[in-house]
């Protein structure tokens, strides 16, 4: 029987990506959403780092789950060099506390409108925070360098995917498809480190 890890997020896109990655790794672990333990509690992501915010979310869900539960949280975002690293840890609420993906992306593109090609470097960062049955905490970071496009391209993915070209590709995250994106993405690289940690555990 698979060991279950509860993912501390209400983002169905993140849940699906994690489930796909775990399935591809053929680990005897299953990823379930926060709904399985009553839903993700409201939290204030007040930390100034991805790791800090991931731990805030993991600890909040762990408080609702059973004492021996494995809980995983993800905090990720886009860092744009021309914007001094913004939107960074505020990527999901760049255009406001309740902003939708399209609103955040539209604000980013407005702020990048005068930035020429060659100066549009960016990177996606993901930190996964894992809390084990004894309360032990570990974090795993992944990053993917690239650039911001001059316009949106592609209908897949979510968030800033339609404007981010990963290094070495002439397609955005949104054009690459899940299978390719999951192997090169910031989240995919963080999950690789997580899987290395989990693989020997029973």
Active site residues per annotation: 75
Name, in order, each residue with C-beta under 8 angstroms of 179's C-beta and a sequence gap of 6 or more.
none
Contact 142, 187 (CB under 8 A): yes
Contact 16, 33 (CB under 8 A): no
Is the sign of the CA dihedral 166, 102, 50, 96 positive or negative?
positive
State the burial class of residue 140 (Cβ atoms within 10 Å of its Cβ: 0-12, 13-18, 19+): buried
SS3 content of the chain, % helix, strand, coil (to 5): 40, 25, 40
How far, in Å, CA of 171 to CA of 190, rounded?
22
């Amino acid at each position: 029987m698979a060991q279950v890890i509860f993912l501390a997020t209400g983002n169905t896109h993140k849940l699906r990506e994690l489930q796909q990655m775990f399935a591809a790794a053929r680990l005897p672990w299953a990823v379930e959403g926060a709904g399985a333990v009553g839903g993700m509690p409201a939290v204030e992501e007040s930390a100034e780092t991805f790791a800090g915010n991931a731990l805030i979310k993991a600890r909040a869900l762990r408080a609702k789950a059973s004492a021996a539960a494995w809980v995983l949280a993800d905090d990720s975002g886009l860092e744009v060099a021309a914007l001094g690293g913004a939107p960074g840890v505020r990527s999901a609420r760049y255009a406001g506390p309740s902003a939708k993906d399209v609103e955040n992306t539209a604000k980013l593109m407005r702020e990048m409108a005068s930035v020429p090609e060659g100066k549009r470097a960016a990177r996606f960062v993901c930190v996964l925070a894992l809390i084990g049955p004894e309360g032990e905490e570990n974090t795993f970071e992944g990053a993917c360098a690239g650039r911001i496009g001059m316009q949106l391209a592609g209908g897949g993915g979510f968030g800033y995917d339609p404007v981010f070209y990963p290094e070495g590709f002439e397609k955005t995250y949104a054009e690459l498809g899940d299978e390719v994106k999951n192997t090169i993405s910031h989240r995919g690289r963080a999950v690789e480190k997580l899987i290395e940690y989990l693989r020997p555990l029973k």
